[in-house]
Amino acid sequence: MEDKKTRREFIQASTAVAGSMAFSSAILGQSSGSSTGIPTRILGRTGVPVSMICLGGWHIGAVQEKAESIRIMHAASDEGITFFDNAWDYHNGKSEEWMGEALAMDGKRAKVFLMTKKLRARLCRLHAESGRELAPSEDGPPRSVAVSRDGV
């Protein structure tokens, strides 16, 4: 049995394909390749070009061995990933400490845009749901501690 498309179905499918191609071209037109081939984009209003792929600190702290974690971060940087993300409470600070050590080696820090954050809003919501007040010790370290952990 032959499956024939109606004219309407053909036009809808063609429009969807054309739209996705235009969207892809618009995204790629805003990016440029690094010397390693990983596309980059300007990060918001910072004016800083970063890789479109980000290395997340949560996963770095989940690695069993610090040496393996550092190897992963160095390989990512060497291959052109220039955007690293972290937070003070990922694995009780282990992610920041390991990332700080990795970036302090061989001038890696100068090649990476490092984003760090505090997840206080999430903590406040969890405590509000439980009816318990947020203790000062649960607020996380001051920004200076988080920054020094990351070796910045």
Q: Which residues contact 126 (CB under 8 A, 6 or more apart)?
A: none
Instruction: Give tens-digit pLDDT for 13-57.
Output: 777 766 666 555 555 555 565 566 789 999 999 999 999 999 999
Q: What is the pLDDT of residue 92?
A: 82
Q: What is the pLDDT of residue 87?
A: 87
Is residue 145 scored above 50 in pLDDT?
Answer: no
Cα(5)–Cα(72) distance, integer angstroms:
50
Cα(101)–Cα(72) distance, integer angstroms:
13
Instruction: Please give the model's pTM, rounded to 2 decimal places.
Output: 0.62
Q: What is the pLDDT of residue 15?
A: 74
Mean pLDDT score of the chain: 76
Fold of domain 33-149: TIM Barrel (3.20.20)
Q: What tokens were used for 89?
A: 């409470």
- In the chain, the amino acid numbered 26 is A
Selected residue with higher pLDDT from 104 and 135:
104
CA distances in angstroms from 113 to 7, 17, 65, 137, listed in the order given: 50, 35, 24, 29
Torsional class of 83: left (φ above 0), alpha (ψ -120 to 50), beta (otherwise): beta
CA distances in angstroms from 55 to 19, 38, 137, listed in the order given: 30, 13, 28
- Domains in the chain: boundaries: 33-149
